[in-house]
Structure 1
Amino acid sequence: MYELKDREYIIVFTGPDGSGRKAVADAVGQTFHMVKVLSHTTRAPRPAEADGQDYHFITEEQYDRMERNGEFLESIRLGASRYGIREEDVANCFRTSGCLYLILNCEGASILKKLYGDRVVRFFIYADRSVVEERQRAKGIPEDAIQAHMSRYEQEMECQADCEHAYENYDLAHTVFDITNTLEGYLKRELVERD
Protein backbone atom coordinates (compact mmCIF):
# COMPACT_ATOMS: atom_id res chain seq x y z
CA MET A 1 0.00 0.00 0.00
CA TYR A 2 1.27 3.48 -0.90
CA GLU A 3 2.50 5.31 2.22
CA LEU A 4 1.25 8.89 2.34
CA LYS A 5 3.90 11.48 3.09
CA ASP A 6 3.52 14.61 5.21
CA ARG A 7 0.81 16.95 3.87
CA GLU A 8 -0.41 14.47 1.25
CA TYR A 9 -4.20 14.14 1.22
CA ILE A 10 -6.75 12.05 -0.62
CA ILE A 11 -9.90 14.11 -1.17
CA VAL A 12 -12.97 11.98 -1.87
CA PHE A 13 -16.23 13.30 -3.29
CA THR A 14 -19.17 11.03 -2.64
CA GLY A 15 -22.97 11.12 -2.54
CA PRO A 16 -25.92 9.90 -4.57
CA ASP A 17 -25.76 9.62 -8.37
CA GLY A 18 -27.14 12.88 -9.77
CA SER A 19 -25.99 14.96 -6.80
CA GLY A 20 -23.51 16.81 -8.99
CA ARG A 21 -20.50 15.33 -7.19
CA LYS A 22 -18.49 15.04 -10.43
CA ALA A 23 -19.06 18.68 -11.43
CA VAL A 24 -18.22 19.84 -7.91
CA ALA A 25 -15.16 17.58 -7.66
CA ASP A 26 -13.74 18.66 -11.02
CA ALA A 27 -14.26 22.37 -10.26
CA VAL A 28 -12.61 22.05 -6.83
CA GLY A 29 -9.81 19.93 -8.30
CA GLN A 30 -9.13 22.56 -10.94
CA THR A 31 -9.12 25.35 -8.32
CA PHE A 32 -6.45 23.54 -6.28
CA HIS A 33 -4.58 22.03 -9.26
CA MET A 34 -5.22 18.58 -7.82
CA VAL A 35 -4.76 15.44 -9.87
CA LYS A 36 -7.83 13.26 -10.42
CA VAL A 37 -7.57 9.49 -9.99
CA LEU A 38 -10.00 7.57 -12.19
CA SER A 39 -11.70 4.34 -11.22
CA HIS A 40 -11.53 1.29 -13.44
CA THR A 41 -14.98 -0.10 -14.20
CA THR A 42 -16.55 -2.95 -16.10
CA ARG A 43 -19.71 -1.02 -16.93
CA ALA A 44 -20.34 0.52 -20.32
CA PRO A 45 -19.84 4.26 -20.76
CA ARG A 46 -22.92 6.46 -20.31
CA PRO A 47 -23.81 9.21 -22.78
CA ALA A 48 -21.06 11.86 -22.88
CA GLU A 49 -18.59 9.73 -20.87
CA ALA A 50 -15.15 9.10 -22.33
CA ASP A 51 -12.55 6.47 -21.51
CA GLY A 52 -9.62 8.01 -19.67
CA GLN A 53 -11.63 11.11 -18.78
CA ASP A 54 -14.47 9.79 -16.62
CA TYR A 55 -13.36 6.19 -15.95
CA HIS A 56 -11.06 3.56 -17.33
CA PHE A 57 -13.60 1.28 -19.03
CA ILE A 58 -12.29 -2.29 -19.05
CA THR A 59 -13.59 -5.81 -19.60
CA GLU A 60 -14.49 -8.30 -16.87
CA GLU A 61 -11.43 -10.34 -17.89
CA GLN A 62 -9.11 -7.34 -17.49
CA TYR A 63 -10.67 -6.53 -14.12
CA ASP A 64 -10.28 -10.14 -12.94
CA ARG A 65 -6.61 -10.14 -13.93
CA MET A 66 -5.93 -6.83 -12.15
CA GLU A 67 -7.73 -8.01 -9.03
CA ARG A 68 -5.82 -11.32 -8.98
CA ASN A 69 -2.58 -9.33 -9.26
CA GLY A 70 -3.56 -7.25 -6.20
CA GLU A 71 -3.56 -3.99 -8.15
CA PHE A 72 -6.62 -2.43 -6.50
CA LEU A 73 -6.58 -0.41 -3.27
CA GLU A 74 -10.35 -0.69 -3.20
CA SER A 75 -12.69 -2.81 -5.28
CA ILE A 76 -16.47 -2.97 -5.09
CA ARG A 77 -19.38 -4.47 -6.99
CA LEU A 78 -22.37 -2.27 -7.69
CA GLY A 79 -25.14 -4.20 -9.37
CA ALA A 80 -23.60 -6.07 -12.29
CA SER A 81 -20.59 -3.72 -12.54
CA ARG A 82 -17.29 -3.58 -10.71
CA TYR A 83 -15.26 -0.52 -9.77
CA GLY A 84 -11.71 -0.26 -8.45
CA ILE A 85 -8.93 2.23 -7.74
CA ARG A 86 -5.44 1.04 -8.65
CA GLU A 87 -2.70 1.62 -6.08
CA GLU A 88 -0.25 2.43 -8.89
CA ASP A 89 -2.52 5.27 -10.09
CA VAL A 90 -2.58 6.79 -6.60
CA ALA A 91 1.22 6.51 -6.25
CA ASN A 92 1.80 8.05 -9.70
CA CYS A 93 -0.48 11.00 -8.90
CA PHE A 94 1.36 11.71 -5.67
CA ARG A 95 4.64 11.87 -7.60
CA THR A 96 3.35 15.01 -9.33
CA SER A 97 1.00 16.47 -6.71
CA GLY A 98 0.68 16.63 -2.93
CA CYS A 99 -3.05 16.18 -3.11
CA LEU A 100 -5.35 14.14 -5.29
CA TYR A 101 -9.07 13.64 -5.59
CA LEU A 102 -11.45 10.84 -6.43
CA ILE A 103 -15.16 10.48 -7.05
CA LEU A 104 -16.43 7.35 -5.32
CA ASN A 105 -19.59 5.85 -3.96
CA CYS A 106 -19.91 5.60 -0.17
CA GLU A 107 -18.54 2.07 0.04
CA GLY A 108 -15.38 2.95 -1.87
CA ALA A 109 -14.93 6.14 0.20
CA SER A 110 -15.23 4.10 3.39
CA ILE A 111 -12.60 1.59 2.23
CA LEU A 112 -10.08 4.36 1.54
CA LYS A 113 -10.85 5.98 4.90
CA LYS A 114 -10.06 2.69 6.67
CA LEU A 115 -6.77 2.42 4.75
CA TYR A 116 -5.53 6.00 5.18
CA GLY A 117 -7.43 7.41 8.17
CA ASP A 118 -7.19 11.18 8.66
CA ARG A 119 -5.40 11.63 5.33
CA VAL A 120 -8.70 10.88 3.57
CA VAL A 121 -11.17 13.76 3.66
CA ARG A 122 -14.66 12.87 2.43
CA PHE A 123 -17.02 15.51 1.02
CA PHE A 124 -20.60 14.30 0.79
CA ILE A 125 -22.48 16.08 -2.02
CA TYR A 126 -26.26 15.80 -2.12
CA ALA A 127 -29.56 17.17 -3.36
CA ASP A 128 -33.13 16.01 -2.80
CA ARG A 129 -34.50 12.93 -4.54
CA SER A 130 -36.48 14.74 -7.26
CA VAL A 131 -33.51 16.93 -8.22
CA VAL A 132 -31.04 14.04 -8.55
CA GLU A 133 -33.55 12.08 -10.60
CA GLU A 134 -34.16 15.08 -12.89
CA ARG A 135 -30.42 15.67 -13.35
CA GLN A 136 -29.88 12.07 -14.44
CA ARG A 137 -32.68 12.30 -17.01
CA ALA A 138 -31.18 15.54 -18.35
CA LYS A 139 -27.88 13.66 -18.89
CA GLY A 140 -29.66 11.05 -20.98
CA ILE A 141 -29.02 8.20 -18.56
CA PRO A 142 -31.26 5.20 -19.40
CA GLU A 143 -34.37 4.88 -17.25
CA ASP A 144 -33.38 1.46 -15.87
CA ALA A 145 -30.05 2.87 -14.66
CA ILE A 146 -31.83 5.85 -13.07
CA GLN A 147 -34.19 3.52 -11.23
CA ALA A 148 -31.26 1.42 -10.02
CA HIS A 149 -29.57 4.58 -8.70
CA MET A 150 -32.75 5.81 -7.05
CA SER A 151 -33.26 2.44 -5.32
CA ARG A 152 -29.98 3.17 -3.48
CA TYR A 153 -30.70 6.86 -2.79
CA GLU A 154 -31.79 6.50 0.88
CA GLN A 155 -28.92 4.13 1.67
CA GLU A 156 -26.42 6.54 0.12
CA MET A 157 -27.91 9.47 2.04
CA GLU A 158 -27.26 7.59 5.29
CA CYS A 159 -23.53 7.69 4.60
CA GLN A 160 -23.60 11.48 4.99
CA ALA A 161 -23.16 11.07 8.76
CA ASP A 162 -19.87 9.18 8.24
CA CYS A 163 -18.28 11.87 6.06
CA GLU A 164 -16.16 14.71 7.40
CA HIS A 165 -18.12 17.35 5.46
CA ALA A 166 -21.50 17.52 3.70
CA TYR A 167 -22.83 20.09 1.25
CA GLU A 168 -26.18 20.55 -0.46
CA ASN A 169 -25.58 21.14 -4.14
CA TYR A 170 -28.23 23.28 -5.79
CA ASP A 171 -25.86 26.04 -6.97
CA LEU A 172 -22.54 24.76 -8.29
CA ALA A 173 -20.56 27.99 -7.80
CA HIS A 174 -21.77 28.38 -4.22
CA THR A 175 -21.00 24.74 -3.36
CA VAL A 176 -17.52 24.95 -4.90
CA PHE A 177 -16.80 28.20 -3.03
CA ASP A 178 -17.79 26.65 0.33
CA ILE A 179 -15.74 23.49 -0.24
CA THR A 180 -12.74 25.53 -1.39
CA ASN A 181 -12.81 27.47 1.88
CA THR A 182 -12.99 24.23 3.87
CA LEU A 183 -10.13 22.64 1.93
CA GLU A 184 -7.87 25.63 2.56
CA GLY A 185 -7.84 24.55 6.21
CA TYR A 186 -6.45 21.14 5.29
CA LEU A 187 -4.02 22.14 2.56
CA LYS A 188 -2.66 25.25 4.31
CA ARG A 189 -1.38 26.76 1.09
CA GLU A 190 -0.43 29.97 2.95
CA LEU A 191 -1.82 32.26 0.28
CA VAL A 192 -0.65 35.86 0.41
CA GLU A 193 -2.93 38.72 -0.50
CA ARG A 194 -1.41 41.27 -2.87
CA ASP A 195 -2.46 44.90 -3.28
Structure 2
Amino acid sequence: MNNNQYVIVLTGAAGTGKTSVQDYLQQKYGIPRVITHTTRPPRPGEKNGVEYYFETDASFAKLHLLEKVEYAGHQYGSSWEAIHRALQQNNIVSIVLDTKGAITYKKELGKHAIVLFMQVDNQNELRQRMLKRGDKPAAVEHRITSKEDIRDLVLPKQLVGKAEIINNENWQQTEIQLDNIIKKLTDN
Protein backbone atom coordinates (compact mmCIF):
# COMPACT_ATOMS: atom_id res chain seq x y z
CA MET A 1 0.00 0.00 0.00
CA ASN A 2 1.12 3.54 -0.72
CA ASN A 3 1.65 5.97 2.14
CA ASN A 4 -1.56 7.86 1.40
CA GLN A 5 -3.81 4.80 1.07
CA TYR A 6 -6.16 3.79 3.87
CA VAL A 7 -8.75 1.15 4.68
CA ILE A 8 -11.50 2.44 6.96
CA VAL A 9 -12.56 -0.56 9.04
CA LEU A 10 -16.09 -0.24 10.41
CA THR A 11 -16.72 -2.52 13.36
CA GLY A 12 -19.13 -2.91 16.27
CA ALA A 13 -22.26 -4.81 17.17
CA ALA A 14 -25.26 -5.33 14.88
CA GLY A 15 -27.44 -2.24 14.57
CA THR A 16 -24.73 0.30 15.43
CA GLY A 17 -24.82 1.79 11.92
CA LYS A 18 -21.78 0.32 10.18
CA THR A 19 -23.55 -0.03 6.82
CA SER A 20 -25.13 3.44 7.13
CA VAL A 21 -21.67 4.92 7.71
CA GLN A 22 -20.27 2.96 4.77
CA ASP A 23 -23.10 4.27 2.56
CA TYR A 24 -22.47 7.85 3.76
CA LEU A 25 -18.74 7.59 2.97
CA GLN A 26 -19.58 6.22 -0.49
CA GLN A 27 -22.18 8.89 -1.28
CA LYS A 28 -20.37 11.94 0.13
CA TYR A 29 -16.74 11.08 -0.60
CA GLY A 30 -16.87 8.38 -3.29
CA ILE A 31 -15.16 5.92 -0.94
CA PRO A 32 -15.69 2.44 -2.38
CA ARG A 33 -16.20 -0.57 -0.18
CA VAL A 34 -13.90 -3.56 -0.22
CA ILE A 35 -16.00 -6.43 -1.51
CA THR A 36 -15.52 -9.59 0.50
CA HIS A 37 -15.57 -13.22 -0.64
CA THR A 38 -17.92 -16.05 0.29
CA THR A 39 -18.52 -19.66 -0.62
CA ARG A 40 -22.25 -19.37 0.03
CA PRO A 41 -24.46 -19.35 -3.06
CA PRO A 42 -25.83 -15.98 -4.23
CA ARG A 43 -29.28 -15.02 -2.98
CA PRO A 44 -31.86 -13.95 -5.57
CA GLY A 45 -30.79 -10.64 -7.10
CA GLU A 46 -27.22 -10.77 -5.79
CA LYS A 47 -24.47 -10.28 -8.38
CA ASN A 48 -20.89 -11.47 -8.28
CA GLY A 49 -18.55 -8.55 -7.62
CA VAL A 50 -21.34 -6.38 -6.21
CA GLU A 51 -22.54 -7.85 -2.90
CA TYR A 52 -19.72 -10.41 -2.67
CA TYR A 53 -17.23 -12.25 -4.81
CA PHE A 54 -18.89 -15.67 -4.91
CA GLU A 55 -16.28 -18.42 -4.70
CA THR A 56 -16.00 -22.17 -4.79
CA ASP A 57 -14.09 -23.88 -1.99
CA ALA A 58 -11.17 -24.28 -4.44
CA SER A 59 -11.09 -20.63 -5.57
CA PHE A 60 -11.53 -19.42 -1.98
CA ALA A 61 -8.49 -21.47 -0.92
CA LYS A 62 -6.32 -19.68 -3.54
CA LEU A 63 -7.07 -16.16 -2.24
CA HIS A 64 -4.56 -14.14 -0.23
CA LEU A 65 -6.85 -13.58 2.74
CA LEU A 66 -6.26 -11.11 5.56
CA GLU A 67 -9.04 -12.63 7.61
CA LYS A 68 -11.71 -15.27 7.26
CA VAL A 69 -14.55 -16.80 9.22
CA GLU A 70 -16.86 -19.73 8.77
CA TYR A 71 -20.53 -19.09 9.34
CA ALA A 72 -23.44 -21.47 8.75
CA GLY A 73 -21.18 -23.87 6.85
CA HIS A 74 -19.87 -21.24 4.42
CA GLN A 75 -16.58 -19.38 4.35
CA TYR A 76 -16.32 -15.59 4.30
CA GLY A 77 -13.16 -13.54 4.01
CA SER A 78 -11.44 -10.43 2.77
CA SER A 79 -8.47 -10.56 0.47
CA TRP A 80 -5.51 -8.45 -0.61
CA GLU A 81 -6.85 -8.79 -4.16
CA ALA A 82 -10.14 -7.11 -3.20
CA ILE A 83 -8.37 -4.35 -1.26
CA HIS A 84 -6.11 -3.55 -4.22
CA ARG A 85 -9.10 -3.61 -6.59
CA ALA A 86 -10.93 -1.08 -4.40
CA LEU A 87 -7.81 1.10 -4.00
CA GLN A 88 -7.62 1.45 -7.79
CA GLN A 89 -10.82 3.52 -7.49
CA ASN A 90 -9.83 5.69 -4.49
CA ASN A 91 -6.96 6.01 -1.99
CA ILE A 92 -9.46 5.51 0.83
CA VAL A 93 -11.72 2.45 0.91
CA SER A 94 -14.01 0.96 3.58
CA ILE A 95 -14.91 -2.46 4.87
CA VAL A 96 -17.34 -3.73 7.52
CA LEU A 97 -15.82 -6.38 9.80
CA ASP A 98 -16.44 -7.95 13.18
CA THR A 99 -14.02 -6.94 15.93
CA LYS A 100 -11.82 -10.01 15.36
CA GLY A 101 -11.38 -8.94 11.73
CA ALA A 102 -10.72 -5.35 12.79
CA ILE A 103 -7.91 -6.53 15.10
CA THR A 104 -6.35 -8.47 12.23
CA TYR A 105 -6.58 -5.48 9.86
CA LYS A 106 -4.94 -3.16 12.42
CA LYS A 107 -2.19 -5.69 13.03
CA GLU A 108 -1.56 -6.33 9.30
CA LEU A 109 -2.03 -2.81 7.91
CA GLY A 110 -0.86 -0.67 10.85
CA LYS A 111 -1.43 3.04 10.22
CA HIS A 112 -3.19 2.24 6.94
CA ALA A 113 -6.12 0.68 8.85
CA ILE A 114 -8.38 3.36 10.31
CA VAL A 115 -10.61 1.44 12.73
CA LEU A 116 -13.94 3.06 13.58
CA PHE A 117 -15.66 1.31 16.46
CA MET A 118 -19.38 2.00 16.19
CA GLN A 119 -21.45 1.93 19.35
CA VAL A 120 -24.88 2.83 20.63
CA ASP A 121 -25.32 3.12 24.39
CA ASN A 122 -28.96 2.06 24.46
CA GLN A 123 -29.17 -1.68 23.76
CA ASN A 124 -32.91 -1.45 23.10
CA GLU A 125 -32.09 1.06 20.32
CA LEU A 126 -29.99 -1.64 18.60
CA ARG A 127 -32.95 -4.03 18.70
CA GLN A 128 -35.29 -1.35 17.29
CA ARG A 129 -32.88 -0.48 14.47
CA MET A 130 -32.64 -4.10 13.37
CA LEU A 131 -36.43 -4.48 13.42
CA LYS A 132 -36.84 -1.20 11.50
CA ARG A 133 -34.46 -2.39 8.76
CA GLY A 134 -36.64 -5.47 8.30
CA ASP A 135 -34.94 -8.17 10.33
CA LYS A 136 -37.38 -10.74 11.72
CA PRO A 137 -37.90 -10.55 15.54
CA ALA A 138 -36.59 -14.09 16.14
CA ALA A 139 -33.47 -13.34 14.06
CA VAL A 140 -32.89 -10.12 16.01
CA GLU A 141 -33.13 -11.92 19.35
CA HIS A 142 -30.79 -14.65 18.13
CA ARG A 143 -28.31 -12.06 16.81
CA ILE A 144 -28.18 -9.84 19.89
CA THR A 145 -27.66 -12.83 22.20
CA SER A 146 -24.97 -14.46 20.02
CA LYS A 147 -21.48 -14.65 21.52
CA GLU A 148 -20.11 -12.76 18.48
CA ASP A 149 -22.50 -9.84 18.86
CA ILE A 150 -21.96 -9.68 22.62
CA ARG A 151 -18.19 -9.63 21.93
CA ASP A 152 -18.64 -6.82 19.38
CA LEU A 153 -20.49 -4.59 21.89
CA VAL A 154 -17.18 -3.80 23.60
CA LEU A 155 -14.01 -2.34 22.11
CA PRO A 156 -11.42 -5.14 22.32
CA LYS A 157 -8.32 -4.40 24.41
CA GLN A 158 -6.17 -4.90 21.28
CA LEU A 159 -7.88 -1.85 19.72
CA VAL A 160 -7.87 0.46 22.77
CA GLY A 161 -5.98 3.59 21.75
CA LYS A 162 -5.90 2.37 18.13
CA ALA A 163 -9.56 2.82 17.17
CA GLU A 164 -11.74 5.89 16.86
CA ILE A 165 -14.93 5.41 18.88
CA ILE A 166 -18.09 6.71 17.23
CA ASN A 167 -21.18 6.85 19.38
CA ASN A 168 -23.86 6.68 16.70
CA GLU A 169 -26.90 7.84 18.68
CA ASN A 170 -27.09 11.22 16.90
CA TRP A 171 -26.57 11.06 13.12
CA GLN A 172 -25.54 14.75 12.78
CA GLN A 173 -22.80 14.21 15.39
CA THR A 174 -21.72 11.06 13.57
CA GLU A 175 -21.48 12.96 10.27
CA ILE A 176 -19.32 15.66 11.87
CA GLN A 177 -17.00 13.03 13.34
CA LEU A 178 -16.76 11.19 10.00
CA ASP A 179 -16.12 14.43 8.09
CA ASN A 180 -13.27 15.29 10.49
CA ILE A 181 -11.72 11.84 10.06
CA ILE A 182 -11.84 12.10 6.25
CA LYS A 183 -10.40 15.64 6.38
CA LYS A 184 -7.43 14.38 8.45
CA LEU A 185 -6.81 11.54 5.99
CA THR A 186 -7.01 13.72 2.89
CA ASP A 187 -4.92 16.57 4.39
CA ASN A 188 -1.93 14.22 4.86
1:146 matched to 2:143: no
Q: Which amino acid aligns with 1:56?
A: Y
1:19 matched to 2:16: yes
1:165 matched to 2:154: no
For 2:13 and 2:155, the matched residues in 1 are separated by 10
Partner of 1:98: 91
Partner of 1:77: 70
Query: Are 1:129 and 1:153, in contact at CA under 8 Å, matched by a contact in 2?
Result: no
For 1:72 and 1:108, the matched residues in 2 are separated by 11
CA 1:52–1:16: 2 relative to 1, 3 Å: farther
- After superposition, the C-alpha distances for 1:83-125 in whole angstroms (9 at most, x for unaligned) are 2113222112222311111111111111111211111010011
152, 156, 165: which one aligns with 2:152:
156
CA 1:45–1:165: 2 relative to 1, 3 Å: farther
Unaligned runs of 5+ residues in structure 1 are 190-195
Secondary structure (helix, strand or coil) at the match of 1:96 reads coil
Unaligned runs of 5+ residues in structure 2 are none
For 2:39 and 2:142, the matched residues in 1 are separated by 16
CA drift of 1:27 comes to: 0.5
For 2:171 and 2:43, the matched residues in 1 are separated by 22
CA drift of 1:172 comes to: 2.1
CA 1:147–1:34: 2 relative to 1, 3 Å: same
Q: Which amino acid aligns with 2:178?
A: I
1:178 matched to 2:172: no
Percent identity over paired residues: 20
Q: Count matched residues.
A: 182
CA 1:97–1:71: 2 relative to 1, 3 Å: same
Partner of 1:193: none
For 1:149 and 1:44, the matched residues in 2 are separated by 22
CA 1:15–1:54: 2 relative to 1, 3 Å: farther
CA drift of 1:52 comes to: 5.8
| Pairs within 5 Å for 1:13-92 | 13-42=10-39, 50-51=46-47, 55-56=51-52, 58=54, 62-78=55-71, 80-92=73-85
For 2:56 and 2:107, the matched residues in 1 are separated by 23
CA drift of 1:30 comes to: 2.7
Query: Are 1:43 and 1:57, in contact at CA under 8 Å, matched by a contact in 2?
Result: no
